[in-house]
Structure 1
Amino acid sequence: MILKTKFQLSFMMFLEFFIWGAWFVTLGTFLGTNLQAKDSEISLAFSTQSFGAIIAPFIVGMIADRYFNAEKILGLIHILGGILMFWLYKTSDFGLFFPILLGYMILFMPTLALVNSISFNQMSNPEKEFSVIRVWGTVGWITAGFMISFLGWDSQEGLSQGMLGNTLLMASAMSILLGVYSFSLPKTPPKGKDSGPFEISKALGLDALSLLKHKNFAIFFVCSILICIPLAFYYQNTSPFLTEIGLENSTGKMALGQVSEVLFMLALPIFFSKFGVKKTLMLGMFAWAVRYFLFAYGDAESGVWMLLIGIALHGICYDFFFVSGQIYTDSHAGEKYKSSAQGMITLATYGVGMLIGFWIAGLISENYADLAGNHDWKSIWLIPSGISVMVLLLFTALFKKERVQPLQ
């Protein structure tokens, strides 16, 4: 791959995840402070990600893969998304905010597949080349978090002045920028034009359900859905939690989780090769339990170290379970179900699992809130910690040791 193409794809990834990180991390805090949304309404807003993940295969499978170049679809979606994000910025009522956000996420979630497709189309050796491009997406997410804290939008003063809404304006501008920039990306013509009629089962990865006949994979599949319940607590509650207890520059500090993600991604092949898939997945689930335990007993003063360690555990939580899970899924799928299996596991986790998780997180948060909107965070965080322990015990007892080809 020539240097110009590497730069184009890296900048594309940077903008893609900068946009997401610019508003998604602080969404819960924004809704609570700017729109006075209830916890159940906040969970409803976060569930738009799951609805987008469920609908995304239809958009990619029916349109991008069959009729139009991926870079043109990416450009059009981000321009429309930028307009919707600006509309969200101007909205002050949750009743209008939710349907606009749902429309935005239905558009945005397919772009995660589109940027991968555009990148893979330019690579002769994706196993070695993709990670170098994809890491710039994580850098983009980190940069967005640091910028929000640097500008003081998430500070107590910024929150009192409603400045957190600027995150939506920033995401809108960057989305339109990426939309225009996308038309200059390398051409990625549709590959599914001559592949026969569109099939819903293949788009959703349901033709890979036969993999569930393998007992170990079926246990992994169920545990993947269940572990997404505590995962939803992190996305939905962490920013409001850190803000409510008075931790300054909380968004910038949360970006440390993505720094950790990069570091542990480098360590994953070594750990995966030495200890195998079962112990790697177990460590990922154990890290979720520890993280929430630290959140339950940490505070913004003498216990701030517990909060920072909990945030920094994101690399183990995400890489050692979800990335390892993708490798494990690929090893079982083989060539026949390679794409379908990844689609199925994505639908099950980011679609079904997190949809359930956001709903449960909203109910629990509302149950442990007083009339003034203050929360009993210790009780809230101990629940996902306990769920993580139960999923870990279930997986440990039923999943048999299995050798999987490690990352190269």
Structure 2
Amino acid sequence: MMFLQFFIWGAWYTTIGNYMSAHGMSSLVNLPYVMNPIAAIVAPFFLGLVADRYFSTEKVLGVLHLLGGVLMLLVPGATGAPRLFIFLILLYNLCYMPTLGLANSLAFHNISDQENQFPLIRVFGTVGWIIAGLFIGFVLSRFTAGQLPDNTPLPLYTTGIASLLLGLYSFALPHTPPPAAGRPVSVRSIVGVEALRELGSTPFYVFIVCSMLICIPLAAYYAYAPIFARVGVYDRGTHNFVTSLFPNPSSIMTLGQMSETGFMLLMPLMFARLGVKKMLLVGMGAWVLRYALFAIAAPDAVFWLIVTGILLHGVCYDFFFVTGQIYVDKKSSPAVRGQAQGFLVLVTYGVGMLIGGFIGGWVYNGFKGAATDLTLAQWAKFWPLPAAFAAVVMVLFAIFFRPQTQESPAGQQPVR
């Protein structure tokens, strides 16, 4: 289940930008990355008000993936109609994003030791994302007559078929009754107002605001790094050992997920040595460095700098997002822990990425004008902007975030 869950996401998320650029929609590349956070904002309301109260988790998961699969199979047919194309992407994301929470909920319900067993299950999600990129590069490329498979509709069809398979498979998963059946629910609890009231403190507010702000430049990576990789590596005909292993943009982007897996193993050691604040600052600093490397690499398309920037995704994600989740978990009492984590996702992958998607598109189109892609010289001017934004957020966080080291109220753990 977890493998297919993230195989589906990885198959379209890293290819849609290059596909749109190749089919006359380069000015709209940011919009799928706007539709995704819109769906991330809507998902908690669907889960809290409907899915978690009235229906078995595996059935809702199956229905949503079947609907999503059908919608994604329709997307390539709308390529000549940009508004319909984007609308179908929105509908697809509205089906997909709730399944992230449903998959986690189903897994947690059916295991006995969440802390030890869930990471082993979740790692198959990262593996699924990696395999999706490699599948596109090594399998789909055999059917594209020399084109980069990222520029063809095959990854979108792959996403649709995988969604249908997971939808059917979901009905065979263990029965998982609705977790909130019979319990009172409110919009305030879904949004996380109660959690915010309990956790409310200056360090926590600084953390939340900076988490949202740092996701604004993050949107530029997801939307435009695969396009930059195509322009700076594959369109130039770069051939070396690495490109032989990763023959297309979506496959080379999986280096980020491979790095993520490696750094995840170092998290316990680094967390014990550095503590929350330094871990978060390392993550933010890695984002600044990544965009700076892209900017330095751009004029001459320096291959090793581009690859290093992609590899830094592991530090960027693990040291910031995973550390942030641990920070929230340690500060939360059991009664509001779920709400607190949901609020963090809403603020980061919802609001922050939504703002970043709009701003990134505005900046990218401002540089691009009527052209199809940015030139390498324009990429050298584009990447310093998210680097500077991330650097400002990092400095503000370093100054104002002062985690409490004293013992927290009952039910919570001290954080340093």
Q: Same fold (TM over 0.5)?
A: yes
d(CA) in 2 for partners of 1:15, 1:223? 32
Residue 14 (str. 1) matches residue 9 (str. 2): no
Change (3 A) 1:15 1:312: same
d(CA) in 1 for partners of 2:264, 2:145? 34
Q: Give 1:88 shift.
A: 0.4
Aligned to 2:241: none
Q: Give 1:319 shift.
A: 0.6
Alpha-carbon contact 2:330-2:414 (below 8 Å) kept: no
Alpha-carbon contact 1:25-1:251 (below 8 Å) kept: yes
- 1:318-329 equivalences under 5 Å are 318-329=317-328
Q: Give 1:207 shift.
A: 2.3
Aligned to 2:14: 25
Alpha-carbon contact 1:276-1:402 (below 8 Å) kept: no
Residue 97 (str. 1) matches residue 85 (str. 2): yes
d(CA) in 1 for partners of 2:251, 2:120? 24
Alpha-carbon contact 2:227-2:249 (below 8 Å) kept: no
d(CA) in 1 for partners of 2:307, 2:5? 26
Work out which of the residue numbers 377, 380, 388 in structure 2 matches 1:378. Answer: 380
Alpha-carbon contact 1:53-1:110 (below 8 Å) kept: yes
Aligned to 2:409: none
d(CA) in 2 for partners of 1:154, 1:302? 28
Q: Give 1:155 shift.
A: 8.8
Residue 310 (str. 1) matches residue 309 (str. 2): yes
Aligned to 1:213: 200
Change (3 A) 1:302 1:84: closer
Alpha-carbon contact 2:295-2:384 (below 8 Å) kept: yes
d(CA) in 1 for partners of 2:142, 2:316? 28
Give the secondary-structure state (helix, strand or coil) at the position aligned to 1:255.
helix
Q: Deviations over 1:239-271 (max 9, x none)?
A: 111112243522111101001111111111110
Give the secondary-structure state (helix, strand or coil) at the position aligned to 1:43.
coil
Q: Deviations over 1:270-289 (max 9, x none)?
A: 10111100000000000000
Aligned to 2:136: 148
Q: Give 1:298 shift.
A: 1.5
**5+ residue gaps, structure 1:** 1-11
Aligned to 2:71: 84
- 1:83-162 equivalences under 5 Å are 83-92=70-79, 93-150=81-138, 151-152=140-141, 157-159=146-148
**5+ residue gaps, structure 2:** 235-246, 406-411
Name the stretch that deviates more: 294-303 or 227-236. Answer: 294-303
After superposition, the CA RMSD in angstroms is: 2.1
Q: Deviations over 1:342-384 (max 9, x none)?
A: 1111111111100000111001101111432331111111101
Alpha-carbon contact 1:261-1:316 (below 8 Å) kept: yes
Alpha-carbon contact 2:22-2:151 (below 8 Å) kept: no
- Identical pairs, percent: 42
d(CA) in 1 for partners of 2:145, 2:293? 23
d(CA) in 1 for partners of 2:217, 2:386? 5
User: Which amino acid letter does the alignment assign opposite residue 236 of structure 1?
Assistant: A
d(CA) in 2 for partners of 1:395, 1:17? 31
Q: Give 1:26 shift.
A: 1.1
d(CA) in 2 for partners of 1:67, 1:306? 51
User: Which amino acid letter does the alignment assign opposite residue 384 of structure 1?
Assistant: P
Aligned to 1:229: 216
Change (3 A) 1:333 1:406: closer
User: Which amino acid letter does the alignment assign opposite residue 201 of structure 1?
Assistant: R
Q: Deviations over 1:112-134 (max 9, x none)?
A: 00000010001111011100000
